[in-house]
Amino acid sequence: MATVGIIGVNGRFGRWFEDFFKARGDTVIGSDLETKVTNIDVMEKAEVVLFCVPISKMKEVIGECQPFSRDGQLCMDITSVKLMPTEAFRDYRSQVVSLHPMCSPTTQTLRGQTLCVDVLSLNKHRDWLDRLFADLSVVVKETTADDHDRHMAVVQGLPHASVLAMARVMREYGIDVAESKGYTSPFYLIAMSLMGRILNQDPNLYFDIQVENPYVVDYLRKLIRILNEAVETIETKDRGRFVEEFLKSKRHFGDETEAASLLFNALIRLRADLSGPHVLKLSFEGDKPGVLNQITQILAKDKINMTSIHSWKSGDHFGFEIGFEVPIEAPQVRKVVKEILKVPSAKIV
């Protein structure tokens, strides 16, 4: 275990990692704008320092802390861009590793998520860092700052700008969002979820991702040119040009088109599993091993077949969403639901 310092401890990722390190048994000290503990206190006392400040403040804060870095210390940042922080870390005496979790801090766990890792210097803390990645259960993607930012222009910058543009078109045309859901196709549902996901978060984060990545503007200019060509193709009803560009892109994607189709179909099945009158949504409080076994035994006794089951966890609550062949209001299902609700703390949600 180590003494871990978090600069920006009151931010979303700061709080997430504070809880994570404390649960793991590390000693945590944190600083933020309104804490008595200062950034300098953290630098002087912590073996490992994690910078979790906003992208727009990262260069400044890293620079201010540089004189207090020391040999044998490990400093890391959590930032969606890499060229800027790695340049700011250039004169640090400590070991430096730059991190980018490819998910929001609203995620309950990083298990299975990609973590981009740019190692600037690392020796003493190699084993500690490997244990950290194992405890996080992340998929590590080793990269360099330049490669990271080039790919993030495609993975983040381009999709974010495109999705926000779609949302703005809907707004400026006065499209009733709720009404449009009545016409939802699986494809539109995913597009809507992307728009809603981004609009439900901090606009400053998305601004900083666009502005601080030096490659985003070039991709957006290319997108504008291609969209203008698309308008011309549609206005002139040039089927040949449309099909030609379509097939060129299909060849470029290669086997990934099949993989994408499989994922899309899986999402459609998942949506079907989690919605409609055939789905029972249950919630339980606390840690109760064996609850699922109790449920399946009740169903087996009454010969009720499940068509799907999905689990979830939120804080101290966990639950299951169970699909049946018949609606949950059917007499045979209502009977077993009464039995399931006898399980301690079971509730329908």
Q: Residue 279's domain is classified under what CATH number?
A: 3.30.70.260
- Is residue 16 located within the same domain as residue 127? yes
Domain of 71, in residue numbers = 3-143
What distance in Å separates the CA atoms of residue 294 and residue 311, rounded to the nearest whole number?
15
Is residue 300 in some structural domain?
Answer: yes
More confident residue, 285 or 228: 228
> Cβ distance 74 to 49 under 8 Å?
yes
Residue type present at position 298 = I
Is residue 242 in some structural domain?
Answer: no
Q: What is the radius of gyration, based on Cα positions, of the chain?
A: 25
Using CA atoms, how far residue 157 sits from 54, 62, 82, 177, 206, in Å, is 17, 24, 14, 24, 8
pTM of the predicted protein model:
0.82
Is residue 166 in some structural domain?
Answer: yes
Is residue 7 in some structural domain?
Answer: yes
Q: What is the pLDDT of residue 288?
A: 72
Pairing of strands 279-285, 317-324: antiparallel
Segment 188-201, tens digit of pLDDT: 888 999 999 999 99
Is residue 238 in some structural domain?
Answer: no
Is residue 10 in some structural domain?
Answer: yes
- Is residue 7 located within the same domain as residue 139? yes
Last residue of a domain, one of 168, 183, 214: 214
- Is residue 182 located within the same domain as residue 85? no
Is residue 233 in some structural domain?
Answer: no
| Domain total of the chain | 3
- pLDDT mean across residues, the chain: 93
- Quick one: pLDDT band at residue 115, thresholds 50, 70, 90? very high
Last residue of a domain, one of 89, 112, 143: 143
- Quick one: pLDDT band at residue 287, thresholds 50, 70, 90? confident
Segment 116-156, tens digit of pLDDT: 999 999 988 999 999 999 999 999 999 999 999 999 999 99
Q: What is the pLDDT of residue 227?
A: 97
Segment 45-87, tens digit of pLDDT: 999 999 999 999 999 999 999 999 999 999 999 999 999 999 9
